[in-house]
Amino acid sequence: MGSLDGKVVIVTGSAKGMGAAEARDAANQGAQVIVTDILDELGEEIATEINATYRTLDVTSEKNWEILVSSVVEEYGRIDGVVNNAGIYSSQGIFNSSVESFQRIIEVNQLGTYLGMAAIAPIMANQKSGSIVNISSVAGMRGQVNIAYMASKWAIRGMTKSVAKTLASSGVRCNSVHPGAVNTDILFSLEEETLNHLISSVPMGRSGEPSEVAKVVTFLLSDAASYISGAEIVVDGGMIA
């Protein structure tokens, strides 16, 4: 018996990294997972590995979301969980980022999460059940130099609380997860000096694994978290304690 037996769960940006780990853990716990991404080849590979369904999804496209949600409901009859994981990162200073780069990060990280919640909310409200998990970051818990990324992750934190309050009476929960230094492409893209400084700031003395974040996400998707909504769960080895 798995904690997500019988549940239908969509995970965005799940062709690799943390999203793939979240999809994998949900499937291991019995969920019917819909892997979504714009990286079709990698997404298909993950879906095949975990016996899931793959769908192409550009999270910034309202039309793409409409098509996805419609197809999932048509095939499975319901949607029990969505993990808004898709996101991009760019290391930018406070005043030296281009407008285009700033807008792109906001579009993918913030707007993409909003569109996902907006597309899923009517389905879950009608079911009188459902769990939305939004992947933010420790950057959404404090001030940082990379201003566009930080702004997008603070926005996710705020939107999560707003949606949690709005949908609570419908039996729908919404929470945010805030990973710290986790072994993904974002971490590996940092310069060695920056990476070493970041890891040295973690009290546990190491970076996290995507699977460690995934287990928290699975918990929030499950009925074991039935009285948790509007929460921000930090998974960072004590970095911002």
In whole angstroms, give the CA distance from residue 20 to residue 141.
24
- Both tokens of residue 134? 């939004």
What's the structural domain count of the chain? 1
65 inside domain: yes
1 inside domain: no
217 inside domain: yes
2 inside domain: no
CATH number at 95 reads 3.40.50.720
Question: Tell me, what's the pLDDT at 124?
Answer: 98
Amino acid code (one letter) for 192: E
Domain that holds residue 72: 8-235
Q: What is the pLDDT of residues 94-144, one digit of tens each?
A: 777 788 999 999 999 999 999 999 999 999 999 999 999 999 999 899 988
- Closest alpha carbon to 167 in 118, 96, 201, 205: 118
Catalytic residue among 54, 89, 114, 149: 149
Answer left, alpha or beta for residue 90, where phi above 0 means left and psi between -120 and 50 means alpha: beta
Count helices and strands (H / E) in the chain: 9, 7
Phi, then psi, of 102 in degrees rounded to 5: -60, -50
Instruction: Specify whether 89 is catalytic.
Output: no
35 inside domain: yes
Amino acid code (one letter) for 202: V
Name beta bridge partners: 36: 55
* Sequence-ordered list of residues with C-beta below 8 angstroms from that of 114, at least 6 positions apart, any chain: 159
Question: Tell me, what's the pLDDT at 190?
Answer: 62
- In this prediction the pTM is 0.94
Q: What is the pLDDT of residues 184-197, one digit of tens each?
A: 877 666 667 666 77
154 inside domain: yes
Question: Tell me, what's the pLDDT at 21?
Answer: 98
In whole angstroms, give the CA distance from residue 127 to residue 236.
34
145 inside domain: yes
Radius of gyration of the chain (CA): 17
